[in-house]
Structure 1
Amino acid sequence: MGFSPWLVFLISVLVQTSAILADTDPRDSSALTAIADNWKNKPSNWNGNDPCRDKWVGIICTGNRVTSVRLSSFGLSGTLSGDIQSLSELVYLDLSYNKDLGGPLPAIIGSLSNLQNLILVGCTFSGEIPKELGQLSNLIFLSLNSNKFSGSIPATLGNLSKLYWFDLADNKLTGELPIFDGTNLGLDNLTNTKHFHFGINQLSGPIPSQIFSSYMKLIHVLLDNNNFSGSIPPTLGLLSTLEVLRFDNNPQLNGQVPSNINNLTKLAELHLENSQLTGPLPDLTGMSALSFVDMSNNSFNASDVPSWFTTLPSLTSLFLENLKIGGQLPQALFSLPAVQTLRLRGNRFNGTLTIGSDFSTQLQLIDLRDNQISSITVGGSQYSNTLILVGNPICVPGSNDKYCVAPGQSNPTAPPYSTARNCSALPTPCLSNQLLSPSCICAVPYRGTLFFRSPSFSDLTSPTTFVTLEQDMETKFQKLNVPVGSIAIHDPFFDSNNNLQMSLELFPSGKVQFSEQDISDVGFMLSNQTYKPPSTFGPYYFIGQQYSFTNDLAVPSQSKKTNRLPLIVGASAGGAVLAVAVIAIAIFISRRKRTPKRTEDRSQSFVSWDMKSTSASTAPQLRGARTFSFDELRKITNNFSEANDIGNGGYGKVYRGTLPSGQLVAVKRSQQGSLQGSLEFRTEIELLSRVHHRNVVSLVGFCLDQDEQILVYEYVPNGTLKESLTGKSGVRLDWRRRLRVVLGAAKGVAYLHELADPPIVHRDIKSSNVLLDERLNAKVSDFGLSKPLGEDGRGQVTTQVKGTMGYLDPEYYMTQQLTGKSDVYSFGVLMLEVATARKPLERGRYIVREVKAAVDRSKDLYGLHELLDPALGAALAGLEQYVDLALRCVEEAGADRPSMGEVVGEIERMVKMAGGPGPDSASESMSYASRTPRHPYGGDSPFDYSGGGMPSTRVEPK
């Protein structure tokens, strides 16, 4: 049955009336609507067809044309539609920090002739960079870093004569740097560009000499972590404006460093480490601005101590490791006024090490391991900071001198910096989605990670350095009228790419939570480099996390205060017509609508379960969990809107909700045909309602109203351990942080085994069932397959096999006898997954078998270099003990495996060995790279092995 002609006519009239009333050019309105159709999680007030008049969040208009789109950290997912071409007046496009926004970048974007800033930092755009971007003749700011772009840099980008900022770092780009070839322009034509940021790619070939000339205005040249070959061109010495130079970590870069490098008198940071450079050690005489020098691990000719060692007044950090430099170190080196770190290990320094009484008060570390120093003289007061002489003749066997002890034993490093919060006891704790600001106010911060690509300092123990940054940010944000009240920084460290990382939290001013428009403004300030840090921090970029907005903070639509009386009458009439049309359509649909059938087990309400029970054990036993009505949950999730959709799985979807108290919750709604039936649903209610531990996810309540099966959990914001290991969450975990996460998970499982009454076997321990809260504390989740044990006193139960392929205990699979040792096996697999970041079972390769076959206890790191996750970092204290424990957990016989209590004890010792506070500390373990994850409750569904059939893929226990 179709719509009647009169109804179609009336709707058509109303649409035309709406277009007449609109402030926005119809081309822009249609384009934004089409673009938004490809996205999830768009701003809450993107409704209607008038973005300019209704002040859509992130949209700025000039007249009736859209000139700016700023939507960083909104959690947008999907692709960028080619409809972007219709926004012909667009000047600014910023879609940064939306980690699920990707796919190819539409080539048609090259038609936006007015575009000045194209900023897509921290998304997942892939494919080749469109050559059509070279048509954007007005482009000033091009930032495509931290995506997945591949292929070569288009030569057409050499047409961007107005370009100031050019950032393609942290992608998968290959090929050579394009230069003018007689026909096509290249990067050597970009004489107004000041920033070449091309690091962390796979670029190759020689560095062309044409790319450097006296016409260039470059201040930052970052070509680090690539595959460039050949020598450094002597034209480098023509860049008189250069301040930061990074050629480090190009293993095929060779030849001599140009002798005219000391013409770069403005250069502050020089990185040449980890290459194959040859010839004499470069002469840095006269480079008075130089503060950071690293030329370690090259093939320079053997030489004596160069004269320029003591002539660099700004020097803070000198890294010259493994370079065969000989002679006696000059005493004046230790007296340079700004010097902080001297890393000179692996050379041939000899004679007496003399540190005079006038050594710099900022000098924190002197590392002279593996040299030929025979004696030491320290004038005046004893040098009390870190001095390492291990591997020198002065350190004879059995020496107890503190200088002869390897780092990590009696030379502890200072704990990572964290902004002080000197607050008296609060009357009530902060809500789960809030943190305590430095101003001692509970609020929801905007969080992310700052990456400083070349700071001029190396000492991370001085609080003054980071307090200065905090104060500078607060001052500049306030001057720009951005509602940031206070700023917190914590956990600074140098990552494997020699970038200084630190976690950043921005707290709102005068309110508990930022609005959507606030996040649009703040994100743009950081992605667009509007905020400039103090010069000592050097070039930076920021990766923001998705910000969680509560429903009541949505930005309302606003109308302009103009005289629309002549049109209001027509609009009112059209509205009345539309109302009639809508009512007619609603009646028509309601009469045609059929009630969907429900399976029998889903139609059972909690009341019916209770009434049909024949024993007390068949009804859910509640201790603390509350019951919700379906209407309550529909309200707190905004009618289960797509905007609140934060995950999905075989059981259905998970939605973010906000209780009337302000508490954020995760609402897991089962659907017809779900892999989770009534038994698993009831099991999770019964078990979670009576277990309470900081490392076990909390059940807030459940709903069995209106034939629904819904569970309500605490909201855990930082995704799953699996997402962190695969890089999907943006939460980066180094070795120490992973140890603390594993320890937290072990404590959760040990609690289930040893303190729950009766004991509980989880049966589905895996990385997607370990959640990470705002402080990266681990929380064990998903108890749908769990079983209580011990009622018969034997600590085991015969049951059909259930679990997830790759984690499943082979003994349990063969005997169907479930014990706590089955969880121990799964936990051992999890430990191996954490160390390798590999799936337990993938393409026939079983991680347990792979590690067992590769282990060689006579080698460093047990010979597991090829299997270990490269993102772990270099300091892996306790790794051998960790691997031993994991392999004990995956012994074939359960009797040979440790208990979870023993596992906790051993991992605690490893955490102490690795250094730093334990997992119960509030802020020590946070390190975010990019982008807030999809919510953890949308994890994998387990393989359910039941009955007498064999699984389709055999679990290999060895």
Structure 2
Amino acid sequence: MSGLRVWSLGALLVLCVCCLSKAGAQITHPGEVKALQAIKKNLNDPKNNLRNWNKGDPCISNWTGVLCFNITEKDGYLHVRELQLLNMNLSGTLSPELGQLSYMNILDFMWNNISGSIPKEIGSIKSLELLLLNGNQLTGPLPEEIGFLPNLDRIQIDQNQISGPLPKSFANLNKTKHFHMNNNSISGQIPPELSRLPSLVHFLLDNNNLSGYLPPEFSELPNLLILQLDNNHFDGSTIPASYGNMSKLLKLSLRNCSLQGSIPDLSRIPNLGYLDLSLNQLNGSIPPNKLSDNITTINLSNNNLSGPIPSSFSGLPLLQRLSLENNFLSGSFPSTILGNRTLNKTESIILDFRNNLLSNISGNLSPPANVTIMLQGNPLCNSNLFNITEFCGPQTGSEDTSQSTINSTAICLVQSCPTDDYFEYIPESPERCVCAAPLRVGYRLKSPGFSDFLPYLSNFEVYLTSGLELKLYQLSIENFIWEEGPRLRMYLKLFPPVGDQSIFNESEIQRIRSMFTGWHIPDSDVFGPYELINFTLLGPYQTFILDSQKSGLSTGALVGIIFGAVAVAATLTAIISIFVTRRCTRKHRTVTGKRQVSKIPIKIDGIKDFTFEEVSLATNNFSSSTQVGQGGYGKVYRGILADGTVVAIKRAQEGSLQGEKEFFTEIELLSRLHHRNLVSLLGYCDEEDEQMLIYEFMPNGTLRDHLSGKTKEPLSFATRLQIALGSAKGILYLHTEADPPIFHRDIKASNILLDSKFTAKVADFGLSRLAPAPDIEGIVPGHVSTVVKGTPGYLDPEYFLTHKLTDKSDVYSLGVVFLELLTGMQPISHGKNIVREVSMAYQSGMILSVVDGRMGSYPSECIEKFLTLALKCCQDETESRPSMADVVRELENMLRKMPDADKTPTEPAVSNPLKAATPPFSSSSMKNTYVSSDVSGSDLVSGVIPSITPR
């Protein structure tokens, strides 16, 4: 009977299709329907974005993200044209059935959590033009089959975990303009065969594991504009002299690539705007020929360059940054380097010549106020040259523009906007105080051709509004922030035109979104390639259907579908009702009362799986009165559980690009770690589309809060020493007693929390890595090779240069924290690096000038020992740093010798004032690497969260 029932159902379905066809209906190709169903089966959809994928026909019923051709092909069926599933919180894997969508032009899974490998079957979609898979967790090698897609224009797989070599078959991609593959683990030699690509414009493979040599044949690429290969390992390779013949090149970035040899003559590249060859082992002199007048950025720092500073650097009309620090340049500093250039109020220039062998200044040095010149560490600073002190001392630098908010000029006295947050005044409207609901867009420039955005802000507004076919006043740039790369991320608001309704209509939203997702906005020589991060619909736009498109079916076709469906509806209803009722009866008990399944794969002992209702109740439904902090990951709330336990709750914000991986990492690690100097994880919540971590609450917040003066009472020296020891003990436990051992990778003052007794507890394990396991011979490797992550100012220079993470990397970061405890300074602030500033003050006998005066009296001998230990931890060379066990031992000895060692940590120390002393060790070998690009860290969970740079 069961088999007969299934046969009958199948027969009726066939009858239904026949009826629809006779009625003149157009339907999606059955093979593509099955393919879409298989695709959905392989995905996890916690937000139920694909809930209509089991209703009706994909093209006719407007399945979310499925866009179809408006007319049928010769076979009489509708076909899928685009699969647009951007930023939908999807996980799971990519189904091989994607290859059956043989008419598709755009495949977009950007900014999800898809894992697994890229199916080779995608190589069967010969019509594919855009392959967009960036911002996921994809692994495995690139399929050779992708190299045989004849119409592919753009391949974006950046920010995944793709490994293996670049396939030589990619040399067949004659129409491909954009290779965006940065931030993966792609390894091996760049195939010289890729030099045959006639259309290649952007080649972005920075932050991978490429090796071998730079192919000289790349100079034959006829249309290459950007070559960006930073942070790879071309050990011993030179920069081919032929690269000076790349006539169309706009940007050459080969930072930290282990390159040797000399710098080729690049003066024949007429429009070169950005050159970064820093952090290599380049030698010889700088070529004397003048670079392009379009150049904005020249970074040749941290090499072995010698000889004079070329006069050709003078008078470059668009120059924003010239970085030549940490080389062996000699001779005179040319005071005429600015030429006759006049700067407006938005322009600034940074000229960094620190740590060279410059012995003199040619001419009179009197730069404008918005020009920063840095000459510290040169012999000329020890001379009696007039008016040189301000350039040789600690630099405040120009205003920090790594993150900026653009202020509106509109002032509206009459508050007529709706009271919710979705309507606001159009800032630059020609008619003041016009109220409208903007579209909110996350947008990023992936390889901009400048170092300072403010001088280009107006040009960018014109460029983007022209590309979107909007009027200039319809765009508002809320803020921008520089990210690792460097890349420039922005938060935009797009307003409807004045005179129309106060919201965009649906067709206009679809048009604007398709301009972004289809890359219909032309690339700019200055602004470079862009990407859409998010296109979130809030307020009045929440009900709009933008991920699908009407298929353009005629009324007659729809009538045919309706009558055909009615003809079999009664019979189908009867059969399906019987079938479904019996199946549901069997499963009723297993489904009833079942809550949304957690994505945590196993039950973890000692870590409670909280329900959303429990956490909501603890925070009074996440009331703003319970919020105690906020960061890039999300918000932190103070909660009180049902049993009275006070907790800190870190709640991931919707659309967070960095939270998922850190969420699972932190649960996995903290569930096995138990030490009085490590923050305790009490539980997590992973349901209702939410990810939250629940910790013990730290009532005294973060160490950074106390050092920055946010708290009323300053920390005494004795308390600071206790905090240093507690932090070191927690890290020592990670290195030696955790099983397996762990490298924290993000030690910083904001990740050291203080309980009610000021006991230090190390927090935030989202970036942590397991220490290397013994190999087959029982030998434990000394490092883990990994992409550099952490926080600027705390990064181990050797890890930054070699990508080799060791236990001494944590020692370096903790040493920076010790210097913060001693001085109260930030690790990096307005061009000042704390390690270098303290080292210079120490060597000059001026340590009193940097010691934090707020900690009262202290014994000079303890200050000396603590400072010596901190600077030893911050040595560039790994072998020169103490082990964490040595650090703990040294701190314990210091505390035993403190005159008030028996006091509680919160009581201030009282002793002799500090005496100037000769430094007990030589730090002449210390040459610190200044990290200028943002290498983002993870968020903190505690009483207060500072603002941080997102990844």
Distance in structure 2 (CA, Å) of the matches to 1:442 and 1:515: 12
Distance in structure 2 (CA, Å) of the matches to 1:533 and 1:870: 44
Gap runs ≥5 in structure 2? 21-25, 73-77, 630-634, 643-648, 667-675, 700-732, 738-752, 775-782, 784-792, 825-869, 871-883, 896-900, 910-931
**Cross-structure match for 1:838:** 768
- How do residues 503-902 of structure 1 correspond to structure 2 at under 5 angstroms? 503-507=490-494, 509=496, 525-526=515-516, 528-532=518-522, 534-538=524-528, 540-542=529-531, 544-545=533-534, 547=536, 552-553=543-544, 560-563=553-556, 564-566=558-560, 568-585=562-579, 587-588=581-582, 684=618, 692-695=626-629, 716-717=653-654, 765-766=680-681, 782=694, 828-830=761-763, 833=765, 837-838=767-768, 879-880=817-818
Gap runs ≥5 in structure 1? 180-185, 341-358, 599-629, 631-638, 653-672, 704-711, 730-760, 772-778, 788-805, 811-819, 845-849, 851-858, 903-913, 930-958
Residues 438 and 764 from structure 1, CA distance in 2 versus in 1: closer, same or farther, beyond 3 angstroms? Answer: farther
Distance in structure 1 (CA, Å) of the matches to 2:326 and 2:167: 38
Counterpart among 418, 427, 452 of residue 405 in structure 2: 418
Counterpart among 440, 449, 452 of residue 459 in structure 1: 452
> Contact conserved, 1:122 with 1:543, CA < 8 A, in 2?
no
Counterpart code for 2:521:
Y
Could you tell me how far 1:132 is from its partner in structure 2?
A: 1.0
Matched position secondary structure for 1:328: strand
Distance in structure 2 (CA, Å) of the matches to 1:293 and 1:224: 15
Distance in structure 2 (CA, Å) of the matches to 1:290 and 1:275: 21
Residues 565 and 270 from structure 1, CA distance in 2 versus in 1: closer, same or farther, beyond 3 angstroms? Answer: closer
Distance in structure 2 (CA, Å) of the matches to 1:824 and 1:18: 74
**Cross-structure match for 1:306:** 310
> Contact conserved, 2:650 with 2:692, CA < 8 A, in 1?
no
> Contact conserved, 1:115 with 1:138, CA < 8 A, in 2?
yes
**Cross-structure match for 2:119:** 106
Residues 698 and 262 from structure 1, CA distance in 2 versus in 1: closer, same or farther, beyond 3 angstroms? Answer: closer
CA distances 1:627-672 after superposition (whole Å, capped 9, x unpaired)? xxx9xxxxxxxx98x8xx89668899xxxxxxxxxxxxxxxxxxxx
Residues 450 and 688 from structure 1, CA distance in 2 versus in 1: closer, same or farther, beyond 3 angstroms? Answer: closer
Counterpart code for 2:129:
Q
Could you tell me how far 1:580 is from its partner in structure 2?
A: 2.6
- How do residues 180-579 of structure 1 correspond to structure 2 at under 5 angstroms? 186-213=193-220, 216-228=222-234, 229-251=236-258, 253-259=259-265, 261-285=266-290, 287-300=292-305, 302-310=306-314, 312-335=316-339, 337=341, 362-369=347-354, 372=358, 383=369, 385-391=371-377, 403=390, 406-407=393-394, 413=400, 416-421=403-408, 446-448=440-442, 450-455=444-449, 457-459=450-452, 463-479=454-470, 486-493=475-482, 495=484, 497=485, 499-507=486-494, 509=496, 525-526=515-516, 528-532=518-522, 534-538=524-528, 540-542=529-531, 544-545=533-534, 547=536, 552-553=543-544, 560-563=553-556, 564-566=558-560, 568-579=562-573
Residues 235 and 125 from structure 1, CA distance in 2 versus in 1: closer, same or farther, beyond 3 angstroms? Answer: same
Counterpart among 124, 128, 143 of residue 115 in structure 1: 128
Matched, 1:175 2:109: no
Could you tell me how far 1:402 is from its partner in structure 2?
A: 6.6
> Contact conserved, 2:425 with 2:436, CA < 8 A, in 1?
yes
TM-score norm. by structure 2 comes to 0.62
Matched position secondary structure for 1:283: coil
CA distances 1:423-460 after superposition (whole Å, capped 9, x unpaired)? 669689976899998579796864546244242x3335
Matched position secondary structure for 2:272: coil
Matched position secondary structure for 1:537: coil
Matched position secondary structure for 1:245: strand
Matched position secondary structure for 2:468: helix
Residues 176 and 435 from structure 1, CA distance in 2 versus in 1: closer, same or farther, beyond 3 angstroms? Answer: farther
Distance in structure 1 (CA, Å) of the matches to 2:660 and 2:950: 12
> Contact conserved, 1:114 with 1:138, CA < 8 A, in 2?
yes
Distance in structure 2 (CA, Å) of the matches to 1:387 and 1:430: 49
Matched position secondary structure for 1:157: helix
**Cross-structure match for 1:86:** 100
Could you tell me how far 1:27 is from its partner in structure 2?
A: 1.4
Residues 122 and 553 from structure 1, CA distance in 2 versus in 1: closer, same or farther, beyond 3 angstroms? Answer: same
Matched position secondary structure for 1:542: strand
Residues 895 and 528 from structure 1, CA distance in 2 versus in 1: closer, same or farther, beyond 3 angstroms? Answer: farther
**Cross-structure match for 2:947:** 925
Counterpart among 12, 32, 38 of residue 34 in structure 1: 38
Distance in structure 2 (CA, Å) of the matches to 1:723 and 1:883: 33
Could you tell me how far 1:895 is from its partner in structure 2?
A: 10
Counterpart code for 1:59:
V
> Contact conserved, 2:42 with 2:95, CA < 8 A, in 1?
yes
Distance in structure 1 (CA, Å) of the matches to 2:196 and 2:511: 33
Counterpart code for 1:490:
N
Could you tell me how far 1:700 is from its partner in structure 2?
A: 11
Matched, 1:75 2:89: yes
**Cross-structure match for 1:126:** 139
Distance in structure 2 (CA, Å) of the matches to 1:217 and 1:676: 56
> Contact conserved, 1:96 with 1:123, CA < 8 A, in 2?
yes
Matched position secondary structure for 1:173: strand
Distance in structure 1 (CA, Å) of the matches to 2:628 and 2:420: 15
Could you tell me how far 1:688 is from its partner in structure 2?
A: 8.5
Counterpart code for 1:37:
K
TM-score norm. by structure 1 comes to 0.61
Distance in structure 1 (CA, Å) of the matches to 2:331 and 2:795: 35
CA distances 1:790-825 after superposition (whole Å, capped 9, x unpaired)? xxxxxxxxxxxxxxxx99xx9xxxxxxxxx986778
Matched position secondary structure for 2:282: strand
Residues 374 and 697 from structure 1, CA distance in 2 versus in 1: closer, same or farther, beyond 3 angstroms? Answer: closer
Could you tell me how far 1:52 is from its partner in structure 2?
A: 1.6
Residues 173 and 822 from structure 1, CA distance in 2 versus in 1: closer, same or farther, beyond 3 angstroms? Answer: same
**Cross-structure match for 2:153:** 140
**Cross-structure match for 1:57:** 64
Could you tell me how far 1:91 is from its partner in structure 2?
A: 2.0
**Cross-structure match for 1:662:** none
Distance in structure 2 (CA, Å) of the matches to 1:90 and 1:33: 16
Could you tell me how far 1:81 is from its partner in structure 2?
A: 0.6
Distance in structure 2 (CA, Å) of the matches to 1:577 and 1:393: 95
CA distances 1:305-351 after superposition (whole Å, capped 9, x unpaired)? 3232236444443222233333334443212538x8xxxxxxxxxxx
Could you tell me how far 1:129 is from its partner in structure 2?
A: 0.4
Residues 113 and 419 from structure 1, CA distance in 2 versus in 1: closer, same or farther, beyond 3 angstroms? Answer: same
Residues 438 and 151 from structure 1, CA distance in 2 versus in 1: closer, same or farther, beyond 3 angstroms? Answer: farther
Identity of aligned residues (%): 22
Distance in structure 2 (CA, Å) of the matches to 1:925 and 1:311: 38
Residues 584 and 684 from structure 1, CA distance in 2 versus in 1: closer, same or farther, beyond 3 angstroms? Answer: same
Residues 312 and 871 from structure 1, CA distance in 2 versus in 1: closer, same or farther, beyond 3 angstroms? Answer: farther
Residues 895 and 523 from structure 1, CA distance in 2 versus in 1: closer, same or farther, beyond 3 angstroms? Answer: farther
Could you tell me how far 1:410 is from its partner in structure 2?
A: 8.4
Matched position secondary structure for 2:239: coil
Distance in structure 2 (CA, Å) of the matches to 1:268 and 1:682: 52
Matched position secondary structure for 2:267: helix
Matched position secondary structure for 2:171: helix
**Cross-structure match for 2:915:** none
Distance in structure 2 (CA, Å) of the matches to 1:783 and 1:568: 56
